[in-house]
Amino acid sequence: MTVTIYHNPACGTSRNTLAMIRQSGEEPVVIEYLKTPPGREELVKLIAAMGLPVRDLLRQKGTPYDELGLCNPDLIDDQLLDRMIAHPILINRPIVVTEKGVRLCRPSELVLDILPNPDIGPFTKEDGEVVVR
């Protein structure tokens, strides 16, 4: 199985995660999800595989979260999924899929738990934070 990352190149966490994957020796399938968003069925499968409530995958910062009233606790999962499909920027990232599982990698070093080779050696994030395992 290959490693797949749902990636936003404008996101530092996503860039760091992609760099860690590559430093592990993997060349992942990179899906720029804003250009090629997952369909509803794929998104539901990803969320189920992560074991997250749908609401936990919603991104607030830099999105129309507030304008769409997504803080309303009465919204059900189907309504939240509808909004994520209509506005992919609402899908938090990066999501990484490997043979070891599916993970929302925030912070980026969470990817190490699901990489086939998590021993990436020394790694420094874009902000200067050193990741040591």
Catalytic residues: 11
Would you say 57 and 88 are in contact if contact means Cβ atoms under 8 Å apart? no
Whole-angstrom distance, CA of residue 6 vs CA of residue 36? 9
Q: Residue 37: what are its φ and ψ, rounded to 5°?
A: -70, 150
Q: Residue 117: what are its φ and ψ, rounded to 5°?
A: -125, 90
